[in-house]
Structure 1
Amino acid sequence: MMNKWHLVSSLFFMCCFITTRLMTGPVAELFVLIAMLFFLPAILSFLSKEERERKPGVLIGILMKAFPLAALCATAAFIYHSALFATGWFLYTLLLALYGFTRLLKRGIFPLHELMTGGAWMYIALGGLWFWLYTADIQVMTFSPIIVLLTAIHFHYSAFFIPLFYGLLGRQREKETALYKSAGWVILLSPVMIAVGISFSRLFDTFSVMLYVIALYLYGILCMKTRFRSTVAKGLIVFSSCALMGTILLSLLYSAGMLMRVSYISIDQMIWFHGSINAFFVILPGLIGWLIEGPKDQLKQKDFPISRVHGRFHLISFQKERMGDRENLGLVDSLDDLNGTTFSAERVSPVIRRFYENPMAFTLKAAVCFHWWVRPFVFLLQPIFKKIGQLYLGTSRMPYEMKGRLTTFQHPKEGRKNVRAWNRYNEKGEQVFLHFMLIITMRLRAI
C-alpha cells in the first residue's frame, strides 16, 4: 500500500496527535486525521504505481514526495489549532485536485468510471478548504465549529472515497450499464447537492440524501453481482458496501430530523456511530479490498505516433535545411497500399484518389471572412501569425490562390518515417501555414 517512509511518518504524526490532543480536542479530529495520514496516501500510492507502468507524470511524483511535509502540516494544525499549518495541507489538497483534473484531461471524462476517479480528487480540495476554515475559526454562515469540522470530514471520506470506490467498481465490470451510470451520476453529484441543501433548503437536503441512499444501495448490489479475481477482496468490498448501507441510514435519519425539527440522533451520536463506522467498517475494509483486487486500468494506450521534434517560435526554420523535394510527391504513395478486407482503392472516386496521390495538380483558392467581433483580434495577431508562419491568412475577403509545396521531412530527432510537410503560401510568397503529416501504410479496419 504505502511506502515505508509514508507509513513511518504517518504513525509518528498520529502518535504525536493522540498524546497531545485526544483528551482535549473533539474526537472528530481523530477521524479526519486518520483519513489524511493513512487512507489517502494508500490510494495515492496505488495510483502512483499504476502510472509508473504507463508514462509516469511529474505531478504524481511531487505529490508522493511532498506527503510527509503535508502530513506534518495537518498534524500540527490540529495540535496547535493553527490556520498557518492548515494552509500547508490545503495547498497539498489543491495539488491533489490538480492531479485529478490532469487525469481527466489525459484520459477524458468517459467512460464514467474515469470521471468518478478523477472527480474524487477534486472533492478532496474542498475538504482541505473546510479544514482550513475550521482551524482559522472562520464563521461560515450559521454553522458551528463542529459542523465545519464535520464538513471537512465529509469531503475527506464519503465525498472522496465513495466516488473513487465506485470508479474502481466500473473498472471491474465488463460493461457500464444504465443502472451503473445512473447511480454513478447521483454519487458524483450528491456532495454538491447535499451541501446546497444544508445551506439553503432542508427539504432539498432530505431529497438529496434519499437519492444518495438509493445510489449507495445500488452500489452494494452491484458489488455483490460483480466478479472478482480475489475472494478475500470481494468479501471485504461487499462487507464495506453493506456497512455503508447501514450507516447511510443514520444520515437520512439525521436529515429527516432536521427537516421536521425532531432530534432522532444528536451530533455527538453522529460523530461516534456514523464517523467510526465509516472509518473502520466502510473505508478501511473497502480500501484494503480494492488494493488487494487492484482492478486494471481499462484505458487503452494511444499509440498514435507523435513527433519528437519541437519548435520554439519560428516554425519555418524547420524546412530550410531538413526538407527534400521529390517530384510528384503525394499525401500517400499509392492508395493501393491501404487495400484490406474493409477497404478497396478501386471503390474510391478517381478525383479523390488523384488528390491523395498528386495534390499539387490541384489549385487551392481561399477567401477569408471573419466575424466583425473577431476582426480586431485578427488584426492585432497578424504580426505574430506572420512571424511563426502559421494561420497567416490575411483579412482581405477577395479570393486569392494559395500556392503550395509538398516536401519530405528529415530530422535527427524524428523517429517516424514517411513524414511530409505541406507548405502553403499567399500571392506575395509569404507562408500561410505549414502542415506536418505522417503517411502510414496499414490495413484499415471497420470502426
Structure 2
Amino acid sequence: MKPLMVATIPGGIITILIFFLDYFRLQLVDKFLMFAAFVIVPLVILLLRYDEKNKHQRVIYAALKLLQYPAALLALASVMGSKTWGLGSTAIPGTLSLGWLLFTFLLGIYGLTVIVNRKGRTEEIAIGTGLVYFFIGGIWFTLYQYQFDLFQAKPTTHALSSVHFHFSSAIVPIFIGLLGRVMTKKSWYPWVVAVDIIGPILIAVGIIFSKPIEYIGVTLFACNIAIYTTYLLGYLRNGSVQNKSSFFLVLSCMAFYTIVVVSICYPLLKNMFSLTIHDFIPIYGALHSFGFVLCGLIGWVYIIDSLKEKYNKEQQE
C-alpha cells in the first residue's frame, strides 16, 4: 500500500536509528515520544477521513499532512538539544518543542471538527477525543522540554504524561471509534466510549496528585481495552476482513493479552530472577507501543483502505 509505505518508511528508519545509535543518547521515554512523532501519528493521519463539502476540515487535513514531518523533526531537535547537544539548561529545547505543540493543536482542532460534523455519533466522539488527547500530549511534551515544575511534579512526570497521551489516551479511543464504525451497535458501546474519555484524565490526574485515582483509571482503561480486543477478535472470526488486516489486528490483541499475563506474573518473576519494575518497563513499552499500538494501527489502515476501494468500485458501477 503506497500511502502506508510513504508515511512510515522514512519515520521508521529515523526511529530505528534513534533507538539503536549511541549518538543520540536519548532516554527511553524520549525514544518512545519520537516513535510516536515519526510513525504513530502519520498512521493516525492515514485513518482520518474528511468531508469534501467542509472546506475548513479539508484545509486542516491538508495542513496536517504537510506539517507532520517538519513538526516531528522539530520535536527530535528539541530532545536532542536537551540530551545530545547539552542545551538542557537553555530555553532552546522548549522553543523547538513548540513546533510539535502547534501540530498537535491542529490535530486537536481536527478532532473537534470530527465530533461536531458527525452530529454526536458515539464512534466519532471517540475518534475526535483521541485526536484532542494528542494535543494534551503535546502540552506535556512542551512542559517537559522547558523543564517546568507544574503542580509540583518533576519534568520526568511530564515526560511520562506525554507518552501516556501520545499512546494509550489517544490511540485507544481511536481504536474503539474505528471498531464502532464497522460493528453492529451494542447497548454497552456508549459506556465503553465514556470510560475511554474519562479514563485517561483519571490516569493523568492520578500520576500527579493521587496514586489511588491513577489505579482506578488504569483499571477502567485496561477493562475497556479487554472489551475492545475481545469483541474485535470475534469480529475478525467472521472472515469479512482481509488477511493482512486480520494478521496485524490479531497481533495487536495478542500483545495486549501478553501485557496482562506479564503483569500478573510480575511478582513471581521478580522474586525468581531478582528483577525490578525498571527491568520490566522496556518490555511493557515495547509490547504496548510496537505490539498493541503499531500493529493495531497498521491493521486498521488496511481495513480503511479496503473499505475505500470497495466504496469507489460501487460508485463506478
| Whole-Å separation in 1 of the counterparts to 2:218 and 2:11 | 33
Q: What is the TM-score of this pair, normalised by structure 2?
A: 0.79
Which of 136, 154, 166 is the matching residue for 2:164? Answer: 154
Q: Does 1:289 align with 2:288?
A: no
SS in 1 for 2:150: coil
- Deviation digits for residues 110-143 of structure 1 (CA, Å, limit 9, x no counterpart): 2x11101111110000110111111111113343
**In the alignment, what sits opposite 1:39?**
40
Deviation of the 1:9 alpha carbon = 5.2
Equivalent residue, structure 2, for 1:109:
120
Aligned in 2, Cα 1:148/1:138: closer, same or farther, shift over 3 Å?
A: same
Q: CA deviation at 1:17?
A: 4.5
Q: Does 1:216 align with 2:189?
A: no
Q: Match of 1:214, SS?
A: helix
1:323-338 mapped onto 2 (5 Å cutoff): none
The amino acid of 1:101's aligned partner reads: L
8 Å Cα contact 1:172/1:296 also seen in 2: no
CA–CA separation in structure 2 for the residues paired with 1:2 and 1:135 = 32
> How far apart are residue 42 of structure 1 and its match?
1.7
Which whole-Å CA distance do the structure 1 matches of 2:103 and 2:4 have between them?
19
Greater relative contact order structure (CA < 8 Å, 6+ sep): 2
Query: Is the partner of 2:151 in helix, strand or coil?
Result: coil
Does residue 182 (structure 1) correspond to residue 197 (structure 2)? The answer is no
Matched positions, count: 284
Instruction: Give the whole-Å Cα distance in 2 for the aligned partners of 1:225 and 1:147.
Output: 37
Aligned-partner SS, 1:178: coil
Inter-partner Cα distance in structure 2 for 1:230 and 1:6 = 21
Match of 1:139 among 118, 142, 149: 149
Cα distance in 1, alignment partners of residues 18 and 111 from structure 2: 29
Which position in structure 2 is the counterpart of 1:202?
Answer: 211
Deviation (angstroms), 1:224: 1.6
Relative to structure 1, is the Cα distance of residues 113 and 126 closer, same or farther in structure 2, using a 3 angstrom cutoff? same
The letter for the 2-side match of 1:128 is: G
Cα 1:58–1:243 shift into 2, 3 Å: same
Larger Rg: 1
Q: Which runs of 5+ in 1 are unaligned?
A: 255-263, 298-447
Pair 53,241 (structure 1): closer, same or farther in 2 beyond 3 Å: farther
Q: How many angstroms apart in 1 are the aligned matches of 2:22 and 2:157?
A: 19
2-side partners of 1:16 and 1:97: how far apart? 29
User: TM-score by structure 1 length?
Assistant: 0.57
What is the CA distance between 1:24 and its match in structure 2? 2.5
Q: Is 1:99 aligned with 2:98?
A: no
> Deviations 1:368-393 (Å, cap 9, x if unpaired)?
xxxxxxxxxxxxxxxxxxxxxxxxxx
Equivalent in 179, 183, 208 of residue 169 of structure 1: 179
For 1:63-89, what per-residue CA distance to the aligned partner results, in whole angstroms no more than 9, with x for missing partners? Answer: 111122211211101110201110110
State the distance in 1 between where 2:287 and 2:262 align: 11
Give the unaligned 5+ runs of structure 2.
83-92, 267-274, 309-317
How many Å separate the matches in 2 of 1:187 and 1:248?
A: 18
**Which amino acid letter does the alignment assign opposite residue 210 of structure 2?**
S
Q: In 2 relative to 1, CA 26–191 (structure 1 residues): closer, same or farther, beyond 3 Å?
A: same
| Alpha-carbon spacing, 1:185–1:22, altered in 2? closer, same or farther (3 Å) | farther
Identify the structure with the greater helix proportion.
Answer: 2
